[in-house]
Chains A and B, each alone.
Chain A
Amino acid sequence: MKRIGVFVCGCGTNIASTVDVDRVAEVASVMPSVVFSTSYKYMCSDPGQEQIKKAAEEHNLNRVIVASCSPRMHENTFRKAMSGAGLNPYMFEMVNIREQVSWVHSNKDEATQKAIDLIRMAVAKVERNKPLQVTTIPVTKKALVIGGGIAGMQAAIDIAETGHQVILVERSTTIGGKMAQLDKTFPTMDCSA
């Protein structure tokens, strides 16, 4: 049985001022396999994530959709919340109704309709999601720093001080970069080299 929970975020007023989030949640509630839907001010906040957990338990959810900001922003946040709710983090889809709806459209009806369409699309997708397992890869404990100016030198020293090996590559014959060319530097007027 596919049991989907839909959570619509208002992002304060970032989304809610252009998208009627309550209406979106209402329409989503009758979409196929959706057994629970709600809207909330800030889904990414602790109470927001707690709602996912609570609803997952109460409604026996096995798939979750969050309609909020770009997945490039908070996909990992919600994947972790999925794990916290005892669900596979890949039984989750995110719908971008901030960067790609509320921030780029001003007509509330049209924006709301677009948000609904995007959620319908995510419902169709998440119905077909399969639980996926994370695998691991080894890490080479060595860093490369490209450029030996003040930035590269500082990064190299700080990494080296944590006990890791660092390779510093500088294209000119000396490190120091532009900084070595400077005289005293503001605001303390100490020497730069």
Chain B
Amino acid sequence: MVAVAQHPNITLYSYSEVERVTGYIGNFTVTIREKAKYVDHDDCTGCGLCETKCPEKVKSEFDLGLGIRPAIYKPFAQAVPNKPVIDAANCRKLINGKCGVCEKICPVKAIRYDDQDRVFQEEVGAIVMATGYDLFPWEEAYGEYGYGRYPDVISGLHFERMVNASGPTGGKIKRPSDGKIPQDVAFIKCVGSRDDTKGKSYCSRTCCMYTAKHASQVMEKIPDGQAYVFYMDVRTAGKGYEEFYLRSVDQGAQYIRGRVSKIYPRGDRLVIKSEDTLLGKPIEVEVDLVVLATAMVPSAGSAEIAKIVGFSVDKDGFYQEAHPKLQPMETFTAGVFLAGACQGPRDIPDTVAQASGAAVKVAALLNKSELATEPMVANVDQSKCTGCEFCVPVCPYQAISMIPKKERAHGQVVERQVAHINKGLCQGCGACVAACRPCALDLDGYTGDQIVAEVDALCL
């Protein structure tokens, strides 16, 4: 992460979103909105004093609500950039003007309550989409797991925050309900994955492995602890993965093949009803904590940004690659590439490999001083053009403009306006051709003459 911030060739805009993309391969114009941070990052030294003195405390999104943060905050201690922003929705000063503690306490006077969003444009030649994933909202779909009513039924990412040494519990596995260390922990795989009725039909690929990791962490970190893993299949396709899974089994994690049908409380513990399909018997296990391996879904807002940049998504909302085998990091839009889980569920090694692949595609493009363009573009027969300008608003690429044309008529030189096509901007869609009433426009490669000939040949 620090390598990104320090690289001389990388300009990082955090707390920013892409609002508009125009242009085409090699020549995109991107409009970026940098949200108001209310802290001048040029002056701020990142000392963190403001964070300790801020009186407002809200649930930390980074810790998935397991911890709290102030209204002026960095999501975590090693954040990059390592400087805070003010969360305007929760800042007392910005809500009702009463407070201003951070401004008083800041030793370098970096607080700017009057900060505004900054909107600016950048010119780029290529775009890499790396918008990642979110977790499937299981609380809305799985009534048998309590619709999120039981605090001790958590997702794998909650578990990650807990076992993380810099997380809200300092690396201790604790029950969210009472803070007790759990003895028996159940893991349920394929929650939302491989479930056509309530979730997604696809396999999320990473859950088998991280569940093996979680189970082994339970066995390591909790003395006398026991991990139970409820699974449909164990899928460990990856270098060193099968060995890793077997290590968790050797450590004592108990794998039970079966779908959990119900979770319900008994005392302060949770009862899991399932079937052991290898024994062919219904079983019941009482545990202290349940961790769900939830499906990966495209990140919130990913469909909107796809529309802004201008490429398509698949049936599950993941970004559509140009070809699943031969062009996995390209889209159907030239100059737009894909990296990571925005294209489909994948783990870190695969993500890194795909990101490096996308980078090579970008480098190959940027290494060219100029690009060859498709010659199948519209052209104007200016002698036929009446200058009606019907084609101008029809063009989705703003490739048509009107230019003056001088010609002789009845012994005089007259000037009139005719359409002109910018061949760099024209993408050859032919919408203008269909709109042109005097038939002055035609599309090379798909001329009216050619298409009519095709129609006739077919209908013979």
Contact = CB atoms under 8 A, between A and B. Distances in A.
Query: Which secondary structure dominates where chain B touches chain A?
Result: mixed
Interface string A151-168: 111111111111111111
B128 A157 contact: no
B18 interface: yes
A122 B356 CA distance: 41
A145 B337 CA distance: 9
Interface in B402-460: 423-424, 444-445, 447, 449-451, 453-454, 456-458, 460
Given A157-B3, A169-B17, A142 B124 contact: yes
A139 B372 CA distance: 10
A13 interface: no
A132 to B, nearest CB: 4
A187 B75 contact: no
B199 interface: no
Interface stretch (A46-54, A58-66, A99-107, A170-178): A170-178
Contacts, number: 304
B189 interface: no
A158 B132 CA distance: 18
A137 B371 contact: yes
B425 to A, nearest CB: 9
A140 B458 contact: no
Interface in A53-89: none
Interface in B57-92: 62, 64, 73-76, 78-81, 84-85
A179 interface: yes
A148 B4 contact: yes
Query: What is the size category of the interface that chain A forms with chain B?
Result: 35 or more
B27 interface: yes
A184 B354 CA distance: 21
Query: Which secondary structure dominates where chain A touches chain B?
Result: mixed
Nearest to A170: B14
B208 to A, nearest CB: 10
Given A135-B372, A149-B340, A180 B1 contact: yes
B342 interface: yes
A137 B62 contact: no
A30 interface: no
B372 A181 contact: no
Contacts of A148: 4, 12, 14, 130
Contacts of A124: 453-454, 456-457
Given A151-B130, A173-B75, A162 B363 contact: yes
Interface in B200-250: 209-210, 212-213, 217, 238-241, 243-244
